[in-house]
Chain A
Amino acid sequence: MSLVLDSGEINRALKRISHEIVERNHGVNSLVLMGIPTRGRFIAERLREIIATIEGPVACGTLDITMHRDDHRLRAPRVLVETVMPHGGIEGKDVVLVDDVLFSGRTIRAALDALGELGRPNSVQLAVLVDRGHRELPIRADFVGKNIPTSIKEQVKVYLTEHDDKDLVEIVTVQE
């Protein structure tokens, strides 16, 4: 088990990402943040707060991807999570998908499908706290908190105060 990011580092990474998002999109006018449950939702909420202090208010929603997953036949049905449409919708907006860890890319593939069902954004970008590699699909992140090279046997665990009572990212080795 090793510590990758502590609370201060998580904050600094999110601040940097916030600046990058605003810079890339030339402000916040058509910007929408969409968090992917469970933890992407809290990260999106934090980015919204930071962007509000540096540039101005930005719409923020939640996107449940359960019904669009490709592994339904491999595991028990999951409980659906709430999808919250951001104020003003996503039609013609520049949507930034937000998640905690980017791994195989399958979650993001499902998110793109789920988003397509809600409307047609002008563009879709991706912000993640951690990119751990091992992609199985041609997908990449536009904004990354930290790149962590990992072994496929390792697991990246993200803890956030809103959900787990502490801010921490660590790597654990899974025992066979």
Chain B
Amino acid sequence: MKHLLSIHDISADQALDILDTAAQLETLTAGAVKKLPTLRGRTVVNLFFEDSTRTRLSFESAAKRLSADVTNFTAKGSSVSKGESLKDTAQTLQAMGADAIVIRHPASGAANRLAESGWVGASIINAGDGTHEHPTQALLDAFTIRKHFGPSMRDFSTLNIAIVGDILHSRVARSNIALLQKLGARVTVIAPPTLIPVGIESWGAPFSYDFDEELDQFDVVMMLRVQLERMNESFFPNGREYSRGYGLDEARLARLKPGAIVMHPGPMNRGLEISAASADSIRSVVVEQVSNGVLVRMAVLYQLLGGPDLQGAGGAL
């Protein structure tokens, strides 16, 4: 495996290998010493053209726990604001000897472009590109689900999972639906009609406009952030109306099946898609998702950089 660009590029077995590796890494880093020497001498560059807290911090700690050197790049305060192109930025990183580039970009397909253009020889990890994909988020969500419903589960077919909210703008939803279906789970997409993308039929997931209908049937309820920064027109009349129809409030929380968990990729709009009480309830695994993110990203970095140099080998996977 050379790059991680999209969930569609990896098989169920490859995904499960990453989850297994993450689980072993958890025992290995549970002791007093949290650092492993495996990627000593490797350089990981975080190339972030879009704001992020969790993902950047998570990749940074993952790389550091494997003893790689980390360089952080954010578009704000760099030559990008002077008009430097992605190509020139990438070639600068190449000249500095990056072994892996973790890229977040507002344009869908930016990670693919970087991997296939031949500008750089490094492994490319997609940390979110526009409204396309966010593969490591899906992997960490699957890891979190597995911890709650069976740590060595290789088949998710007993699980009924709802993904609720702003599907239209959500790369998290796209990656999650692809991965969870690959692993065998039943995934239902729930959103107001304006936030359901055109052509959703081709995703192979049933969708509904009614959150309450099957609410007591789900094992996992994954709430998505309403991405106000990507909305330049009105997709719903106002926040209160959205909350009433699609927010996870206390009343809905109480109706969840016993043992069901509530997930959110963060950052949360408390009071909009999720109420504060739901976000802080015992069913919520939001904080756990963050710590699992570090483990899963360590596993991905290990799988991509743990082997011989692939510089110049080219080709995705």
In the assembled complex, how far is the CB of residue A149 from the closest CB belonging to chain B, in whole angstroms?
33
Q: Is the CB of B20 within 8 A of A79?
A: yes
Q: Are B31 and A77 in contact (CB under 8 A)?
A: no
B20 touches A75 (CB 8 A): no
Q: Which residues of B contact A117 (CB under 8 A)?
A: 28, 31, 33, 36
Q: Is the CB of B31 within 8 A of A64?
A: no
The A interface is mostly helix, strand or loop, or mixed, namely: loop
Q: Of B17, B32, B38, B307, which one neighbours A67 at CB under 8 angstroms?
A: B38
Q: Chain B, 24-45, contact with A by CB distance < 8 Å: what is the 0/1 string?
A: 1101100111001111000000
- The range of chain B's interface size is 20 to 34
Asked if residues B309 and A73 are in contact (CB atoms below 8 Å), the reply is yes
Chain A positions within 8 Å of B24 at CB level: 64, 80-83
Distance in Å from the Cβ of A172 to the closest Cβ of chain B?
A: 27
Tell me if B307 and A76 are in contact (CB < 8 A): yes
Contact indicator A67/B308 (Cβ below 8 Å): no
Min CB distance B93 to A, Å, is 21
Residues of B within 8 A of A116 (CB): 33
Most chain A CB within a 10 A radius of its CB, from B27, B33, B306, B309: B306
Contact in complex: A67, B28 (CB < 8 Å): yes
| Bound-complex Cα distance A106 to B108 (A) | 46
Query: Mostly helix, strand, loop or mixed at chain B's interface?
Result: loop
Q: Which of A72, A78, A82, A119 contacts B27 (CB 8 A)?
A: A82
A64: chain B residues within 8 A (beta carbon): 24, 28
Most buried by B among A80, A85, A116, A118: A80
Instruction: Verify A83–B38 contact, CB threshold 8 A.
Output: no
Q: Which of A73, A78, A85 has the most chain B CB within a 10 Å cutoff?
A: A73
Interface residue? B73 (CB, 8 A): no
Q: Does A174 make an interface contact (CB < 8 A)?
A: no
Contact A73 B308 (CB under 8 A): yes
Chain A residues with Cβ below 8 Å from B112 are none
Task: Name the CB-closest residue of A to B21.
Answer: A80
Given contacts A83-B27, A83-B28, contact A75 B307 (CB under 8 A): yes
The reply to whether the CB of A113 lies closer than 8 angstroms to some CB of chain B is yes
Residue of A nearest to B67 (CB): A67
Cβ–Cβ < 8 Å partners of B309 in chain A = 73
Q: Which of A74, A77, A81, A83 has the most CB of B within 10 A?
A: A77
- A80 vs B29: C-alpha distance in the bound complex, in angstroms? 13
* In the assembled complex, B94 has its CB within 8 A of some CB on chain A: no
Q: For the complex, give the distance between the alpha carbons of A119 and B30 in Å.
A: 11
B306-A72 in contact (CB<8A): yes
List 9 interface pairs A-B (beta carbons < 8 Å), by A numbering. Answer: A67-B302, A68-B36, A73-B307, A77-B302, A79-B21, A80-B21, A82-B27, A116-B33, A118-B31
Please name 5 further chain A to chain B contacts, defined as beta carbons within 8 Å, in addition to the given A67-B38, A80-B20, sorted by A numbering.
Answer: A68-B36, A68-B38, A73-B308, A82-B24, A82-B27
